[in-house]
């Protein structure tokens, strides 16, 4: 009897998400597919960002590029958080060096009419690209993603990128009924976008609430978390792990886990052992090398990678990543070396002692003082 070839389900990424033992710590990078790669810039020449997201041949190629080059443990689907909004008819563009720009910002009840539900027929190119990718990737898992309702709302209400999110917050506090109606629509669109990707073969999903860190915990809990929870609950029924990430969310980590994540993404501001105390033992963590670290000399990069792995020791599940996306001017060769180093240092399981730290006595069995649950 021939046993089936191991697939993504057996990969270290999915094992870590499920808090099962891994062969070595899985690693991938947010924004690994994109501007830091010369081969990306070549295939994007003369093709607009949104247009490239609608061409399955380009999506497939760009998604595979970092997997080939870096040997990462997962692919992230090449698209953008605003693609589903564009697909249902919102008049928006992604401007180079700026980001998503919405022609007419959303401010009134009438504006909700411009946000119909997302149907799979709106994004046939997503289904086609995911199917082709899953074939090409074999045992390497594909991570699907969507923007969370708050982060999407920020682009729609502000009309583009925003430092202070003032119009968004004004609606949240000043017109709560409209706010909740808007976030409900967006939750439906996010969930539908994730469902399309999972039904076509994605093995895990990440919900990006990149700008949630602009909110205090009380506002997040009251005005945002219930909508993200709905997205995560709908995907939960599809049986794939859910990663929930935001920037500057140190004060929100517990709430982001409780919203229904299997894995909480941590930015570079909170060390993973402290993040684990905030999140609790029932979820894995993803993170959290500062994306600027790759600009330092290699010795410093290596020390920072070791520090992340050290802080992650004893966690029930750890997916190594940056604390935010790859910066466009990063040297791709340094990223490849980071992948190799994480693999080398965690070969045989991440509990292997990390050498080269300033002397901190190891306890019998490899446990370290001060790290609860460390082995």
Ligand X SMILES: Cc1c2[nH]c(c1CCC(=O)O)Cc1[nH]c(c(CCC(=O)O)c1C)Cc1[nH]c(c(CCC(=O)O)c1C)Cc1[nH]c(c(C)c1CCC(=O)O)C2
Catalytic residue (choose from 15, 19, 24, 44): 44
Closest approach of Cβ 44 to ligand X, in Å?
A: 6
Catalytic residue (choose from 18, 31, 114, 306): 31
Annotation says 80 is catalytic: yes
- Give Cβ neighbours of residue 330 (< 8 Å, ≥ 6 apart): 36, 291, 294, 295
Residue 35 CB-density burial (10 A; 0-12 exposed, 13-18 middle, 19+ buried): middle
- Give Cβ neighbours of residue 286 (< 8 Å, ≥ 6 apart): 243, 245, 263, 264, 265, 266, 318, 319, 320, 321
Q: Is 125 annotated as a binding residue?
A: no
Rounded CA separation 328/66 (Å): 14
Q: Is 35 annotated as a binding residue?
A: yes
Strands 142-147 and 75-76: parallel
Choice between 33 and 342, CB closer to ligand X: 33
Q: Is 33 annotated as a binding residue?
A: yes
Q: Is 7 annotated as a binding residue?
A: no
Rounded CA separation 112/181 (Å): 8
Q: Which residue has the tokens 């990223």?
A: 335
Annotation says 107 is catalytic: no
Choice between 11 and 32, CB closer to ligand X: 32
Closest approach of Cβ 316 to ligand X, in Å?
A: 25
Rounded CA separation 320/362 (Å): 23
Closest approach of Cβ 148 to ligand X, in Å?
A: 9
Closest approach of Cβ 82 to ligand X, in Å?
A: 6
Annotation says 42 is catalytic: no
Q: What DSSP state is assigned to residue 362?
A: P
Choice between 55 and 306, CB closer to ligand X: 55
Catalytic residue (choose from 35, 131, 254, 277): 35
Annotation says 121 is catalytic: no
Annotation says 40 is catalytic: no
Q: Is 24 annotated as a binding residue?
A: no
Given a contact cutoff of 8 angstroms between Cβ atoms, the answer to whether 254 and 278 are in contact is yes
Catalytic residue (choose from 10, 18, 80, 111): 80
Given a contact cutoff of 8 angstroms between Cβ atoms, the answer to whether 173 and 114 are in contact is no
Choice between 34 and 317, CB closer to ligand X: 34
* Secondary structure tally for the chain: helices H, strands E: 15, 9
List residues near ligand X by CB under 6 A: 30-35, 44, 49, 76, 78-81, 94, 96-100, 145, 208, 210, 325
Q: Is 343 annotated as a binding residue?
A: no
Q: Which residues are catalytic?
A: 31, 35, 44, 80, 155
- Annotated binding-site positions: 31-35, 80, 155, 210, 324
Binding site members for substrate: 31-35, 80, 155, 210, 324
């Amino acid at each position: 009897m021939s046993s089936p070839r191991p697939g993504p389900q057996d990969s270290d990424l999915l094992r870590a998400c499920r808090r099962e033992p891994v062969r070595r710590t899985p690693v991938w990078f947010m924004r690994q597919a994109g501007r830091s790669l010369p081969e990306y810039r070549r295939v994007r020449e003369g093709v607009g960002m949104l247009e490239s997201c609608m061409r399955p041949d380009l999506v497939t190629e760009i998604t595979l590029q970092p997997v080939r080059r870096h040997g990462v443990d997962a692919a992230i689907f090449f698209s953008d958080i605003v693609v589903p909004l564009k697909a249902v008819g919102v008049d928006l563009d992604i401007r180079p060096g700026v980001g998503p720009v919405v022609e007419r910002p959303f401010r009134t009840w009438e504006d909700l009419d411009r946000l119909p539900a997302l149907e799979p027929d709106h994004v046939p190119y997503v289904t086609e690209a995911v199917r082709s990718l899953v074939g090409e990737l074999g045992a390497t898992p594909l991570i699907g993603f969507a923007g969370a309702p708050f982060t999407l709302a920020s682009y729609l209400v502000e009309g583009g990128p925003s430092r202070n999110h003032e119009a968004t917050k004004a609606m949240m506090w000043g017109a709560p009924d409209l706010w909740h109606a808007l976030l409900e629509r967006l939750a439906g669109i996010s969930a539908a976008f994730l469902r399309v990707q999972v039904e076509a073969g994605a093995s895990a999903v990440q919900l990006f609430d990149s700008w949630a860190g602009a909110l205090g915990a009380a506002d997040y809990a009251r005005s945002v978390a219930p909508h993200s929870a709905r997205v995560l609950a709908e995907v939960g029924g599809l049986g794939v792990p859910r990663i929930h990430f935001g920037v500057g969310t140190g004060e929100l980590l517990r709430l982001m886990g409780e919203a229904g994540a299997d894995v909480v993404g941590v930015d570079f501001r909170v060390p993973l052992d402290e993040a684990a105390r905030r999140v609790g033992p029932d979820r894995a963590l993803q993170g959290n090398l500062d994306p600027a670290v790759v600009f330092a000399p290699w010795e410093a990069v290596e020390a920072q990678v070791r520090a992340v792995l050290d802080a992650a020791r004893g966690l029930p599940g750890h997916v190594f990543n940056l604390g935010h996306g790859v910066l466009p001017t990063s040297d791709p060769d340094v990223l490849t070396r980071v992948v190799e180093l994480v693999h080398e240092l965690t070969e045989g399981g991440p509990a292997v002692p990390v050498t080269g730290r300033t002397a901190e006595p190891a306890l019998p069995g490899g446990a370290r003082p001060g790290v609860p649950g460390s082995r």
